[in-house]
Homo-oligomer: A and B are copies of this chain.
Amino acid sequence: MGEFELIARYFDRPVQRAVLGVGDDCALLQTHANTRLAVSTDMLVLGRHFFADVCPFKLGHKALAVNLSDLAACGARPLAFTLALSMPAADEAWLEQFSRGLLALADAHGCELIGGDTTCGPLTICITIFGEIPVLAGRSLALLRSGAVDGDDLYVSGQLGDARLALDALRGQVTLPAGVLEKARARLEMPTPRVALGLALRGIASAAIDISDGLLGDLGHILSSSNVGATVYVDVATSLIAARAEAMELSDGQWRALALSGGDDYELLFTAAPSRGQAVSDAAQASHTPVTRIGHIHAQAGLQLIDRNGVPQPHVYQSFDHFASDASER
């Protein structure tokens, strides 16, 4: 199977909203008037972002999910994406499953594959995604990292830490009961991008980011962009680990590390004024996405952790850094 047959068989589909899709030198997109185009790109590398034995259907899902999560964090409506794929060989069984996982999630979000590139090489997936954000009175409704202000509440969607727990188990660093591993592994391999919540939070959230490198690390980006500090309620964050409800022998410190710096959560972390509390609840309900208040923003710089009694806790957590010396395979 050659390059062009491969594209035709697995990735070339009827054009939906794009003016021109797969098959020319460029794809052509027509954006609506009074919108801005949100663009994000992510590259997934074998041995770094996924294991060699990962199910290709799930890998297809995840490759797009992490990009949809970026759109969600900006409050952008998914529009289209390109796929660049490097593979050691054109493995038909693998491509069949990978493309199904990828396109099933794409269809669920009305996000169209409009172009790409395939080449022979180490397994690497690069997706660039496009979304639309309306502009009102000359200002876009994009959720940015830079809008948090003194007094805002800090919220996170869904669960924390379970993806990292699964990763630790797959690396043999912890042992999990089969049922617990299965559920945690679904969080690692099939993350749910919070697109509907991101759309519902337009005009409500003051700042937002998606959690890929760990809660505290990604919160740090909001703090530095917004020039504010935050206090995080450690016990509340830790309660968001679904696996914690199971009978498991991990120390308090281990649970905290999972929730605060686990990474791969792909949840939305966002801020909103206390006066918008009801609007946040309504957005959560409308998007069928649980949201929990896990802290607050203050003018004083820095990141403070407190427990349920208000006692300050040590901040010993590191964000994931792809080029740090301790960045082992993930």
| A interface with B by C-beta (< 8 Å) | 1-4, 6, 19-20, 23-31, 33, 36-43, 45-49, 70-71, 73-74, 76, 80, 82-86, 89-90, 114-122, 124, 126, 128, 130-131, 133, 140, 142, 144-146, 208-210, 225, 321-324, 327
Contacts and interface: CB of A to CB of B under 8 A. Distances in A.
Given A28-B140, A120-B322, A42 B225 contact: no
25 contacts: A2-B324, A3-B322, A19-B36, A23-B145, A24-B74, A24-B225, A25-B70, A26-B131, A27-B40, A28-B37, A28-B38, A28-B39, A29-B36, A33-B33, A39-B82, A41-B83, A43-B119, A45-B86, A45-B119, A47-B121, A48-B119, A48-B121, A49-B119, A118-B323, A122-B124
Nearest to A40: B26
Contacts of A4: 321
Contacts of A40: 25-27, 82, 115
**Which of A25, A73, A114 has most B Cβ within 10 Å?**
A25
A146 B115 CA distance: 17
Nearest to A36: B28
Given A70-B26, A74-B25, A126-B84, A41 B120 contact: no
Given A45-B122, A45-B124, 20 more contacts: A25-B71, A26-B40, A26-B71, A26-B142, A28-B38, A28-B74, A33-B33, A39-B80, A39-B128, A41-B82, A41-B84, A42-B84, A43-B84, A45-B120, A48-B119, A86-B124, A118-B322, A120-B322, A120-B323, A126-B126
Contacts of A73: 25-26
Contacts of A322: 3, 118-120
A167 to B, nearest CB: 16
Quick one: copies of this chain in the complex?
2
Nearest to A45: B121
B19 A140 contact: yes
Contact of A323 (B2, B28, B49, B140): B2
A83 B40 CA distance: 10
A210 B26 CA distance: 11
A86 B40 CA distance: 16
Among all A-B residue pairs, the 10 with the closest Cβ atoms: A45-B121, A126-B126, A26-B38, A128-B128, A43-B84, A25-B73, A41-B82, A29-B37, A122-B122, A90-B323
